[in-house]
Amino acid sequence: MAATEPTGVVVALPTPALATSPVPEPRPGLEPLRLVGFELSLRTARIELLEEVAKGLDRAWADREFRSRPELQEVALLKTCHRVELWLLLRSSAALPAWRSELERRAPGWTERTGLDAVRHLFYVACGLESLAVGEREIRQQIRSAIGTVQSRHPRPVLRELLGAAVAAADREFPRVDPSRSIAAVAVSRLQQLVGPPFPRVVVVGSGIVGRQIAEMLAPSARVTLVYHRRPPEAGFLRSIGARSAPVDRLTDELAVCDAVVAAAKSGRAVITPPAIPRDRPVVLLDLGVPRNIAPEVRRLPQARLVDLGDLYGDMPPPAPRAPAGVEEAAREAARTLDQRSLEPWVAALRREIERIRRSELASARPYLGDLTEAQAMAVERLTRRLVGRLLDGPTERIRALSSSPEDDQIRRWALELLSPDPAEP
């Protein structure tokens, strides 16, 4: 990827985007659909803010927004352990200020992306290149889950296909991922730094994928108890790693005799509070949840050392992702498809308006054509339709074929402005 390669627009809210050229925006109602991605992550926001946003922006909220905002053609919500991303397909850029205000009201630090840059970012996220554990695989399942949140009014849904293409590119380019590239490996590494081997008693809260990975990595040098919410881990898995399990209602008893805790549960609330922490010895606690599983007040306890995702992210060097050529090409192809799809409402509106003009002019000319036979009237109808088609097909296909580069985008906007008819004309 060349350093000077043009991309889409990236803006950190609330800084307003500055106009870089006098190119006019298309008229409302006849402009292409606009894909906009908003991201809030530990890169730009404190964990407290991310936690509040993650609680407020859920699927029910996205459904309500979709129903109440007719300009919104599609919406998707992606939430991971350290990011919240909102993807919108809008009928008009005039709707953007309201969305910026809504998100900024909830938290500062949002990053806004459009065009090729938005698509490339999504592909990088799917490949794990924007993750705390660079290259991790779990993000793909989270994106697959986000596909299920997509709401659409578009006759040919865009976001489901775009999200799916990003996951497919990640699967194709990174079919095998080293176990060390995971949030579980990051947590275990930090625990080893803070406590040092061996780990006599470690409680892992959460028996999902991440919790099981942590238990498996710790088991060779620790006595691990895996705390579960609904269903206990498989007995064969526990035997294979030499760990035991306990239900969450016995969590307080397990904490009373532990030396370290790793919380990786999707509880949506703090399940560990200060009264549950042992007072007679030092305890290291790692919290991998957003919302957090461990109450932040635990930091005030002199015997407790609490590390959450904000701490982990702040201590890691920023990733310098370099995607394989295959990922870059897949992102470009997806951006080209997006450009074509985004033009369909404009093309349909243009053809409807031209057809209205054709019918109006034909009706005005009928008195001067005399009495036409049915065959003659059909011939005039076919002739005018063919003329309109020949005049429109070439320009619209060439506009569809334009790329996402700023140069081609400028040509596209000029073309839309020149070709878009004024509905007020007779």
369 to 363, 373, 377: CA distances (angstroms): 10, 11, 10
Q: Classify residue 322: in a domain, yes or no.
A: no
Please tell me whether residues 100 and 64 are part of one structural domain: yes
Q: Classify residue 23: in a domain, yes or no.
A: yes
Please tell me whether residues 284 and 389 are part of one structural domain: no
Helix axes 325-369, 115-126, angle to 10 degrees: 140
What is the chain's percent helix, strand, coil content, to nearest 5? 50, 15, 35
DSSP 8-state secondary structure symbol assigned to residue 72: E
CATH number at residue 41: 3.30.460.30
How far from the centroid of its chain's Cα atoms is residue 346's Cα? 26
Residue-level pLDDT at 199 = 77
Q: Classify residue 39: in a domain, yes or no.
A: yes
Q: pLDDT digits over 95-109, tens only?
A: 999 999 999 999 999
Report the alpha-carbon distance of residue 196 to residue 190 in Å, rounded. 9
pTM for the full predicted model: 0.77
Which residues sit opposite 284 in a β-bridge? 260, 305
Contact 36, 92 (CB under 8 A): no
**Which residues, at least 6 apart from 8, have a Cβ–Cβ distance to it below 8 Å?**
113, 114, 115, 116, 117, 118, 119, 404
Please tell me whether residues 295 and 358 are part of one structural domain: no
Q: What angle do CA 160, 161, 162 make, to 5 degrees?
A: 95
Residue-level pLDDT at 347 = 75
Please tell me whether residues 31 and 164 are part of one structural domain: yes
Q: Domain boundary at 315, 331, 351, which?
A: 315
Helix axes 115-126, 138-147, angle to 10 degrees: 130
Contact 114, 34 (CB under 8 A): yes
Residue-level pLDDT at 66 = 95
Report the alpha-carbon distance of residue 126 to residue 141 in Å, rounded. 9
Please tell me whether residues 149 and 188 are part of one structural domain: no
Residue-level pLDDT at 358 = 87
pLDDT means per 10 residues, the chain with 426 residues, are 43 41 46 89 91 92 94 93 92 90 94 92 92 86 92 86 95 86 90 84 93 94 93 94 95 94 88 93 93 94 94 72 84 86 75 85 88 90 90 81 71 72 50
Please tell me whether residues 189 and 296 are part of one structural domain: yes
Please tell me whether residues 41 and 135 are part of one structural domain: yes
Domain residues for the domain of 143 are 10-178
Residue-level pLDDT at 21 = 38
State the DSSP string of 318-373: PP-----HHHHHHHHHHHHHHHHHHHHHHHHHHHHHHHHHHHHHHHHHHHHH-S--
Please tell me whether residues 392 and 377 are part of one structural domain: yes
Residue-level pLDDT at 288 = 93
96: nearest Cα among 171, 156, 186, 35: 35
- Number of folded domains that form the chain: 3
Q: What's the chain's length in residues?
A: 426
2 to 127, 128, 159, 325: CA distances (angstroms): 20, 21, 27, 12
Residue-level pLDDT at 249 = 93
| Helices and strands (H, E) in the chain, number of each type | 14, 12
Q: How many CB atoms lie within 10 A of CB 148?
A: 10
Q: Classify residue 130: in a domain, yes or no.
A: yes
Please tell me whether residues 104 and 192 are part of one structural domain: no
Please tell me whether residues 110 and 251 are part of one structural domain: no
* Phi–psi pair at 203, nearest 5 degrees: -100, 125
298: nearest Cα among 311, 285, 316: 285
Q: Classify residue 326: in a domain, yes or no.
A: no
Q: Which residue has the tokens 């949506």?
A: 268
